[in-house]
Amino acid sequence: MPQEDLLKDLRRRMDGAVDVLRKEFGGLRTGRASTSLLEPITVSAYGNTVPLNQVASINVPEPRMISVQVWDRGLAKAVDKAIRESGLGLNPQTEGQVIRVPIPELNEERRRELTRVAAKYAEQARVSVRNVRRDGIEVLRRLEKDSDISQDEHRKLQSDVQHLTDDHIKRIDETLAQKDKEILQV
């Protein structure tokens, strides 16, 4: 495998870890209504578990309210139950096929709890990036052992992999700091 392709692959995988982190952060409540808050919720429908956005449309009609329009009237109770049991601390109100989800004001204790959850997500992303680095270094060792690259090339590429890792860890830390600031903002 050419060295440039290896670095491109490692960068793609590390970017994927950062993207997953951003999606997880989108599901963390900051006191404002957002459709991304309900994205991770799955509903038991038609004998399977499906994402909420496949059985309903989600809108934000006002800053502290999410409106869920269920397409199949028979699934309204299942959607209501899924939102209640999601662990997001939401209390939906069902009105036929429309489910209104008021977003309560966050108290200080809940804000601190959300920052701990955000830190946990960030640590998972860091671990993913480090695992990608480990895989890349193993490939480099194998290439050197098989005499496909020289020892000097191995050292240079290993340095490049470490630099790539450091950049992604820095991006994760910056994203976490931004999310913490957003959560703690009153």
What lies within 8 Å, CB to CB, of 77 at 6+ separation is 94
Boundaries of every domain in the chain: 3-26+107-184, 35-102
Is residue 1 very low, low, confident or very high in pLDDT (cuts 50, 70, 90)? low
For range 77-81, the mean pLDDT: 89
pLDDT, tens digit (0-9, with 9 covering 90-100), for 5-59: 888 999 999 999 999 888 888 777 666 777 777 877 888 888 888 888 888 888 8
φ and ψ of 105, to 5 deg: -65, 140
CATH topology of domain 3-26+107-184: Topoisomerase I; Chain A, domain 4 (1.10.132)
CATH pick for 35-102 out of 3.30.1360.40, 3.30.565.10, 3.30.390.30, 1.10.287.890: 3.30.1360.40
For range 121-126, the mean pLDDT: 93
For residues 26 and 77, the model is more confident at 77
| 3 state SS of 162 | helix
